[in-house]
Amino acid sequence: MSLISPFSRRLYLRIWLAVVGGVAVFAFAIGLAWRWAAEQNLHQPPTREIVITDGLGRTLVDGTGVRQRGDPSEGVRYRIEGDNGMVYEMHLSPRLPMGGMRPGERGPAAWLRPPFGFLWVLALVGIAVTVGVFPIIRRLLQRLELLQRGVQRFGEGDLSVRVAEQGQDEVAALARQFNAAAARIEKLVQSHKSLLANASHELRSPLTRIRMGLELMQGGQPSPAFRAEIERNIAELDQLVDEILLSSRLDAGAADVGTIEPVDLVGLAVEECARVDAEPQVGDGSPIEVPGVSKLLRRAVRNLLENARRYSQGEITLAITREGRDAVLRVCDHGPGVPPDQRERIFEPFYRLPGASERSGGVGLGLALVRSIAQRHGGSVACEDRPDGKPGACFVLRLPTGD
């Protein structure tokens, strides 16, 4: 059992044994076929047309010769039946050994004579194949062993492990798929860790304000201003928890975030503009529908408008147009704008521009949610300068219409 166990656990040894076994079976089959052919020759002596002439070319014997059975060491005998009805016998002396050696001279060793020479050739070919295929199979299977060790380390918690992607065969394709899956899982785990750490930090602020307010009240009747502050902090906590949960579900690729259906983007945008006193610009007012989850698209539009209202010093506009096969929604404000080197980072969870954390409202998840929602619907979102060159920023949300 101990001798069989290493072969059962090593794929390259099993493949090597399969090749060696195949060569052995092939050699055995060839040997059987050769032996069968030799036996057939003995049981069915071959016949030949034999013509014997003299020095002048005159035919002396013309007939059919049949080889007689006998000891090959005594030569070959043929029984010839001529056309004239006469029977003749022809005796050929034994064939000289290799090198033309005469009887009594020492010939080649017995193991080199037929049929043993043939068997030795087969044995040498088998040994050559056995030795030659081993390094090839071993090198191929080493890549699988590296992949196996990488998967084992990844399963033990080392999410940064990657395997070499050598070649274009199935093993290389498997390595590429593993690396892609590992990178995705590592990114997802890091995102969740960052989300948890930042959420813990953001939750402390409103909780601390509520605790301090209760301590200052000391059992007295709360004033209207205090009640309003408590309600604002509770609303901030509620919004934060809601955005954290939604962000986690979107990052994890949850399938139960809502039903895909045609959504009238124009009507949805007009409703959200009324909430924050923004100016909608919808062209001729004809509906622009996109396939998606209504509550997610509403959240994306609302977050863009609330973000603009938080930092804008003037009017906020929301324009909806159709560009090719995309519906394009632009939310422009008159705020301080976003520096070009920060226009990608503002879509990271909990990232805020320097100095923005002191402003009222916002925890740095709104724009990150907008990007996640856009990507969930096959779209994109970006931050640009205002087209009129005035101070401020424009956030452009593109969604495929599915036409």
Residue carrying structure tokens 């986690």: 248
Task: State the Cα–Cα distance between residues 332 and 232, nearest whole angstrom.
Answer: 27
Q: Is the pLDDT assigned to residue 395 strictly greater than 90?
A: yes
Task: Give catalytic residue positions.
Answer: 201
- Residue 22, exposed/middle/buried by CB under 10 A (0-12, 13-18, 19+)? exposed
Task: State the Cα–Cα distance between residues 228 and 231, nearest whole angstrom.
Answer: 5
Task: State the Cα–Cα distance between residues 391 and 381, nearest whole angstrom.
Answer: 20
Q: Is the pLDDT assigned to residue 381 strictly greater than 90?
A: yes
CB-based contacts of 92, cutoff 8 Å, min separation 6: 75, 76, 77, 78
Beta bridge partner(s), residue 78: 67, 90
Q: What are the pLDDT digits (tens) for 215-245?
A: 766 666 667 776 777 777 777 677 667 777 7
Confidence band of 205 (pLDDT split at 50, 70, 90): low
Q: Cβ distance 362 to 310 under 8 Å?
A: yes
Q: How much is the pLDDT for 383? A: 92
Q: How much is the pLDDT for 248? A: 67
Confidence band of 79 (pLDDT split at 50, 70, 90): confident
What is the SS3 assignment for 82? strand
Q: What are the pLDDT digits (tens) for 156-170?
A: 888 888 888 877 767
43-47-50 Cα angle (round to 5) = 150
Q: What are the pLDDT digits (tens) for 126-150?
A: 777 777 777 777 777 777 788 888 8
Q: Is the pLDDT assigned to residue 314 strictly greater than 70?
A: yes
Q: Is the pLDDT assigned to residue 379 strictly greater than 80?
A: yes
Residue carrying structure tokens 């994890």: 252
Which of 169, 258, 232 lies closest to 360 in space, CA to CA? 232
Task: State the Cα–Cα distance between residues 237 and 202, nearest whole angstrom.
Answer: 9
Q: Is the pLDDT assigned to residue 112 strictly greater than 80?
A: no
Q: Cβ distance 257 to 249 under 8 Å?
A: yes
Task: State the Cα–Cα distance between residues 165 and 175, nearest whole angstrom.
Answer: 6
Q: Is the pLDDT assigned to residue 103 strictly greater than 60?
A: no
- Main-chain phi, psi angles of 51, to 5 degrees: -125, 125
Q: How much is the pLDDT for 327? A: 92
Task: State the Cα–Cα distance between residues 397 and 380, nearest whole angstrom.
Answer: 6
Task: State the Cα–Cα distance between residues 242 and 237, nearest whole angstrom.
Answer: 8
Fold of the CATH domain 183-251:
Helix Hairpins (1.10.287)
Q: Cβ distance 364 to 351 under 8 Å?
A: yes
Task: State the Cα–Cα distance between residues 295 and 307, nearest whole angstrom.
Answer: 18
Q: Cβ distance 335 to 386 under 8 Å?
A: no
Task: State the Cα–Cα distance between residues 26 and 162, nearest whole angstrom.
Answer: 42
Task: State the Cα–Cα distance between residues 191 and 353, nearest whole angstrom.
Answer: 20
Lowest-confidence pick of 70-74, 260-264, 348-352: 70-74
Task: State the Cα–Cα distance between residues 268 and 282, nearest whole angstrom.
Answer: 11
Q: Is the pLDDT assigned to residue 110 strictly greater than 60?
A: no
Fold of the CATH domain 261-400:
Heat Shock Protein 90 (3.30.565)
Q: Cβ distance 303 to 369 under 8 Å?
A: yes
CA 325 to chain centre: 31
Q: What is the mean pLDDT of residues 68-93?
A: 75
What is the largest distance, in Å, between two alpha-carbon atoms of the chain?
Answer: 150
Domain ranges in the chain?
Answer: 183-251, 261-400
Q: What are the pLDDT digits (tens) for 315-358?
A: 899 999 988 889 999 999 988 888 888 888 888 877 777 666 54
Q: Is the pLDDT assigned to residue 256 strictly greater than 50?
A: yes
Q: How much is the pLDDT for 9? A: 55
Helix then strand then coil, % of the chain, to nearest 5: 50, 15, 30
Is the pTM here over 0.75, yes or no? no
Q: Is the pLDDT assigned to residue 361 strictly greater than 80?
A: no
Q: Is the pLDDT assigned to residue 359 strictly greater than 50?
A: no
